[in-house]
Structure 1
């Protein structure tokens, strides 16, 4: 996996978990600006061999289109679905179905006739079932957990979206590779089902 980051990311915090202390000690924070525009915020604390890492994206609910609220939250969910290498047993076989789903949604968005929309929605359902035959649900979560990751989660608010988890310090290279890969090469599989999940919330 390539170890690089998208320009849209504004913060990567790699903060070692602090041991409980009776005396308050100011946190020593270092800030770096990478050539690709990514800001890295680093606080080293060697009391425990554990790291808390997060990636913050400066995009949130306020950036949603007026006619499509919830898109930032939806994107947060989709970035857990994997890539061309993660979350699939056969990307080459899965890809035509995912491409077809996106084309059908574009077609659905342009169609105004109620009966024709129902037909398109049935086609989307059929393609989704075919695509699901190749998907590996939760592989991103499982990889993070096999690395010793805990508190794997994400959140979307008005101003930003954040992805985070804690993990052993020995896994920092793998964590950086995985997070870089998930943002550079996302595949939006499970598109329809996740849309319903976000809508219900």
Structure 2
């Protein structure tokens, strides 16, 4: 019995010390008791426990989009979206060799778009980017 009590005490002490290693925030009144961790790179991780269903669920949300684009690089979030879903030679693509020239052309057009100041030309370039993006998808 003494060994069990000692073992339980040691385990509880170890758990308590390891839990305090990572600081987190909470929101008062949250029924899920979500812990909000901020990683060194600024990414926030929201973690809560749901013991009713034995599974893990993950969402990734980032603060990017058209309203967050720098004025000189509008369309950057849209381009990034295409990059995220096109993959690499080893991941997320159906035929990288066929898709690579299209992706390279899109990249070059975005650079041209960034350097162009005439609104009509910018609209035409963006239309071309959309057409190639559709073809690449």
Q: Which has the larger radius of gyration?
A: 2
Higher RCO (C-alpha under 8 Å, 6+ residues apart):
1
TM bucket, shorter chain: 0.3 to 0.5
More strand by share: 1
TM-score, structure 1 normalization: 0.34
TM-score, structure 2 normalization: 0.45
